[in-house]
Amino acid sequence: MKTFYVINGPNLNRLGKREPGIYGSETLETLEQRLSQLASENEATVIFHQSNHEGQIIDWIHEAENASGIILNPGAFTHYSYAIRDAIASVPTQVVEVHISNVHKRESFRHTSVISPVTEGQIVGLGLKGYELALQSFF
């Protein structure tokens, strides 16, 4: 059975409460249930992680070195964490970067992703659906 990691970064534990006009009203828990269901329909399993701490995210990326894929939303770390970028480059696992909001329509500091050059692809602005599309891209 294939195993995928879904890793969410800072403030994404607050989905449902956090700026609902931008991130919607669904919680991280509901999203994870949906992704688990989608994975099981495709004979796969998903390990979910969320942290507000950069080093913890790096450790999980290393842990996923033998996984079939990583779906990663590093939150604001996207825009400046060379350490997360290097962690991705250090593992053979394919990573799909997901952003719930359309970062290109927002503040200019969100227009740059330092991790994109080491990911397979990026899905932005499609809300939580982006995570499902990312998982489906691995099947």
Compose the 8-27 pattern: x for residues touching ligand DQA by CB under 6 A, - for all others.
Answer: ---x----------------
Which of the ranges 25-33, 58-66, 99-107, 131-139 carries the binding residues for ligand DQA, by CB under 6 A? 99-107
Span near ligand DQA by CB under 6 A; candidates 49-57, 75-83, 84-92, 115-123? 75-83
- Sign of the Cα torsion 71, 75, 78, 83 reads negative
**With contact defined as beta carbons under 8 Å apart, do 58 and 84 qualify?**
yes
Query: Is the Cβ of residue 24 or residue 68 nearer to ligand DQA in the bound state?
Result: 24
Residue with tokens 């200019």: 108
Closest to ligand DQA by CB, 41 vs 107, is 107
DSSP letter string over 12-52? GGGTTTS-HHHH-S--HHHHHHHHHHHHHHTTEEEEEEE-S
93 secondary structure, DSSP code: S
- Residue 73 in the binding site for ligand DQA (CB under 6 A): yes
Q: Which residues bind ligand DQA (CB under 6 A)?
A: 11, 73, 75-76, 78, 99-101, 103, 110
- Active-site positions read 23, 99
